[in-house]
Structure 1
């Protein structure tokens, strides 16, 4: 899935969490989740975050393949528990929601992901080719859903 689609989907998921759950500081939570929704691609030096954070991405890519460990459930869980331990549960929640939105998005692509890497070889895959016109259509649908939920949260709809 392309970066813009991940961000749009992360934004949508953050809106849904704010709408249906009691989240403190929603105006901080929404952008945090959106930003963190691109984080799993830090394992690819040519990704948006990989290029910006090359000093992290290059060493990570030497030890981990793209859509390997960093596209499993373990990094957000480790991050969540570390942030809980250090007294930052709000940031931990934003990390889990944003990171997992990325993983869910990649599940619909043909490349798919392995939620339990390296302990399993089972991949969840979908029908969408990254960057294909169908992903562009999905992006538009997600953006329309974003607009709807923003208007709904603001009690305009």
Structure 2
């Protein structure tokens, strides 16, 4: 059962992220995988990083994007499930009384603007840098330095 009041947090310190030109790049430092989210996916990630509850993220997207509430709800739930499966986010453990008194402001929206076209968010996963990210930059590099791995002879 999905709890709409659930809040999440980034699984730090093993997960780092950066927003670059509307794209969120996320790196799982333990696994060496990196991920990309754009458009609605980036908006969902932004809400999660701010500690906004699932229901408030949903409401924000319903106001911003042109599609049915059901489509957005399914997309938010699917993306959050994938982010949890990849261990990028974890449920924020808060006291029930504390969370009920907390009011998080939704993501800023501009009034009287046209709704954006909705595309179901996709968590793009890349594993091509896994070996590079897993390198020990002090001990496992050649004389040229990082990112050149020592060659076993």
Relative to the length of structure 2, the TM-score reads: 0.29
Structure with more relative contact order (C-alpha pairs < 8 Å, separation 6 or more): 2
The structure with the largest alpha-carbon Rg is 2
Relative to the length of structure 1, the TM-score reads: 0.28
The structure carrying a bigger strand percent of its residues is 2
